[in-house]
Amino acid sequence: MNDRKPIRRVLLSVTDKSGVVELARVLQQHGAELVSTGGTARTLREAGLPVKDISDLTGFPEMLDGRVKTLHPKVHGGILHIRANAEHQKAVAAHDIEPIDMVVVNLYAFEATLRKPGVRFGEVIENIDIGGPSMVRSAAKNFEDVAVVTSVADYPALIEDLRANEGNLSRATRWQLARKAFALTAAYDLAIANALEGISELPEEDAALQLPAAAETPFPATLRLAYPQAMPLRYGENPHQRAALYADGSGTGIAGLRQLQGKELSFNNLVDLDACWDLALEFSDPAVVIIKHTNPCGAATASTVVEAYRKALASDPVSAFGAVIGVNREIDAEAATEIAKLFVEAIVAPSFSAEAKEIFAARKNLRLVEARAADMSRVLKQISGGLLLQDADHGHVEAGQLKIVSQRQPTQDEIDALLFAWRVCKHVKSNAIVYARNGQTLGVGAGQMSRVDAAKFGAMKAILPLVGCVAASDAFFPFPDGLETVVAAGATAVIQPGGSVRDAEVIAAADRLDAAMVFTGTRHFRH
């Protein structure tokens, strides 16, 4: 059975004119009549192609500043009638409707308009496409007879197909194009609905649109998501689980990374890369984070990347084997030489010097990825039967915001170490205790069922001496025993949120032990 159908008449109406001339020329060379609108028709004529105006097809002029041009029975009848249906054929013949075999359409750039500085509310509304999505959906619905092309990226393959098959397209090709078309209109409507929901107060038509920052927008009444698949993954957390990566299209964050070398990224690689990238970006000084199973086994800051790496590795060199590393600066040759001595799964950084790339090239399986910071304002988590949405944890505390609750005042060195430990603790699974000194983690107690166990485990993991260190707790100490444990391990100062009904008992324990203690007033649970 030959399911290929010829393309005899094409309607072209595109906002993005890229590549449309070449596509139209190939269609015309294979006998297709070109019908077009406004600017698209002008572009094709300037390229020397014969074009029929849409008004010549409909017998009706474009009107209302172009709002009405393709919304006409001779357009939608030409697209939607079923060629094998005798009644449909009688109807189009009676009304002198000519068949349209292909629709080439891309939509008004609504999201680009929305992002324009100082854009007027009326301009945003005007850039909601009506005729385009209508034609796209009509053509996609009638894919058995009509091809619909909505993406410039599809033009090259389509041109090859047309040339190889003398201007005919297969049913399978038409089906694939239709699926993409329905996905496009769904995402387009989603973008409009999400944008308009964020405009809580109705502006005047000529008013400059002031969209609130994402973190300031209310939680939507309906959560609408559209994330195109960025790449399939070999498997999920375990080999029996299927998986894929979906990205928001911004090209930022770990979902928008650029892989420079190495094996295919796995589900677990991506999760760990996200954890270490997130923590590395907490710091303004050069920082290196070594992650194992989403928890930092080593984190450090220093004046150079190589020094920060040496400090991070010294925190727990055993756990660092097979880990993932995140760096908040370009990795240079000196740092690359040191890091290359350790077996790691992947490294993420903003960039790598040419010399660093050459050094890492000898480790062919090592995954090198570059990433850009993402503007992440909300965090999504799936639970059975639904989703949880919350603001991202961007909570920070500076030295002047600390509440010193102990009799002994912390020294400046202790305050610096406490602030460092607090930033790391935010990225450790609860219950969490972090021991640190001089911009370097010493021991990390992660994911324990009790806080005192986290304190004991963090001390047990420490390889470097803990005497004279500081400790951070992601939530308050419910009893003095947690504080007593970190002080017994060697901590001289402690940072914690405070807020327990037994705060007075914990403060008294700190004074009895001559430990400095500060409250942040903010906790950092991480489940």
**Residues that are catalytic:** 141, 293
Q: Whole-angstrom Cα distance, residue 375 to residue 349?
A: 17
Q: Whole-angstrom Cα distance, residue 66 to residue 183?
A: 25
Indicate the SS3 state at residue 245: strand
Indicate the SS3 state at residue 28: helix
Helices (H), 117-209: 121-126, 131-141, 155-164, 171-197
Residue at 206: amino acid letter: D
Degrees (nearest 5) of the Cα angle 80, 82, 85?
Answer: 145
Measured between alpha carbons, how far is residue 521 from residues 328, 333, 401, 405, 469 in Å? 28, 42, 9, 12, 22
User: What strands, in cross-sheet order, belong to the sheet with 9-14?
Assistant: 52-53, 33-36, 9-14, 102-106, 147-149
Q: Whole-angstrom Cα distance, residue 66 to residue 37?
A: 9
Structure tokens at 183: 């996905």
Under 8 Å between Cβ of 54 and 70: yes
Under 8 Å between Cβ of 106 and 152: yes
- On the question of a cis peptide bond just before residue 431, with omega within 30 degrees of 0, the verdict is yes
**Backbone dihedral region for residue 50 (phi beyond 0: left; psi -120 to 50: alpha; all else: beta):** beta
Under 8 Å between Cβ of 139 and 147: yes
Indicate the SS3 state at residue 338: helix
Q: How far does Cα 1 stand from its chain's mean position?
A: 44
Measured between alpha carbons, how far is residue 27 from residues 9, 51, 57, 167 in Å? 9, 12, 18, 7
Q: How far does Cα 158 stand from its chain's mean position?
A: 30
Q: What is the 3-state secondary structure of 267-325? A: HHHHHHHHHHHHHHCCCCCCEEEEEECCEEEEEEECCCHHHHHHHHHHHCCCCCCCEEE
